[in-house]
Amino acid sequence: MDNTSKKEILSGLKEKCSRCRACALCETRTNVVFGKGNENAPVMFVGEAPGEKEDLSGEPFVGAAGKLLDKYLTYIGLGLGDVYIANVLKCRPPHNRDPLPEEEDACIGFLLGQIEAVKPKVIVCLGRISAMRLIGGDFRITRDHGKWFEFHGVPISAVYHPAALLRDPRKKQEMIIDFEMLEQKLKNLTD
Ligand code: URA
């Protein structure tokens, strides 16, 4: 797929997403939060759902969790031009509650479309919600973070959600190890 068709597919999906009324979250959202970054990136990060700042701005991971994510990306030499970032849900759940199964079911087609268009070489789930959705329902973040699985032939892993590190800074050391592992994985792809 050439770059123009990737961009076209993503902007078509984004347009459809911006008009989506498939679940009740459309009633309370300010903005749909589709995705950001480079559509040719080798690595795609998948978070959970927009928070307050994301709902207001229309961009994923712009709040406190996003700033922490940026630090880990910088630590392994990556910037927004090297990654694509999206969420399982494109609309904010009220009071940042966990997504409901029916909300995920209504929204998942957009994420799958993004994965299909971007064709990342590696997918990294941020937290348990996206890991349980893309890796498997029995995924346990404390047990399984930093391990590699497959998503339709694409290597996929999960790390702690940055918001979890804000609540429990003791997890930061494990996050560093997981990002170093990701750095190595990306390096192996280009060797
Ligand atoms: N948390 C998420 O999972 N996604 C965002 O975009 C922001 C916070």
Q: How confident is the model over 168-177, as pLDDT tens digits? A: 999 999 999 9
Ligand 1 pocket test: pick from 32, 54, 69, 85 the residue with the most ligand atoms within 8 Å of its Cβ.
54
The pTM of the full predicted model, rounded to 2 decimals, is 0.97
Residue 23 token pair: 């679940």
Q: How far apart are CA 123 and CA 121, in angstroms?
A: 7
pLDDT number for residue 4? 74
Q: Residues near ligand 1 with C-beta < 6 Å?
A: 47-51, 54, 60-61, 63, 65-66, 87, 126, 163
State yes or no: pLDDT of 57 exceeds 90. Answer: yes
State yes or no: pLDDT of 53 exceeds 90. Answer: yes
CB 76 within 8 A of CB 122: no
Residues β-bridged to residue 125 = 46, 158
Question: For every residue of the chain, which 3-state class applies, written as one string?
Answer: CCHHHHHHHHHHHHHHHHCCCCCCHHHHCCCCCCEEECCCCCEEEEECCCCHHHHHHCCCCCCHHHHHHHHHHHHCCCCHHHEEEEECCCCCCHHHCCCCHHHHHHHHHHHHHHHHHHCCCEEEEECHHHHHHHCCCCCCHHHHCCCCEEECCEEEEEECCHHHHHHCHHHHHHHHHHHHHHHHHHHHHHC
CB 92 within 8 A of CB 63: no
CA of 115 to the centre of ligand 1 (A): 17
State yes or no: pLDDT of 3 exceeds 80. Answer: no
Atom of ligand 1 nearest to the CA of 130: 3
CB 55 within 8 A of CB 29: yes
Ligand 1 pocket test: pick from 61, 92, 128 the residue with the most ligand atoms within 8 Å of its Cβ.
61
* 8: CATH: 3.40.470.10
Task: Quote the number of domains for the chain.
Answer: 1
Structural domain of 139: 3-190
Percent share of the chain, pLDDT over 70: 99
Cα 186–123–26 angle (5° rounding)? 145
Atom of ligand 1 nearest to the CA of 162: 1
State yes or no: pLDDT of 47 exceeds 90. Answer: yes
If 0-12 CB within 10 Å is exposed, 13-18 middle and 19+ buried, where does residue 24 land? Answer: middle
Residue 47 token pair: 């978070």
pLDDT digits (tens, 9 = 90+) for 59-87: 999 999 999 999 999 999 999 999 999 99
Query: If you average pLDDT over every residue of the chain, what do you get?
Result: 97
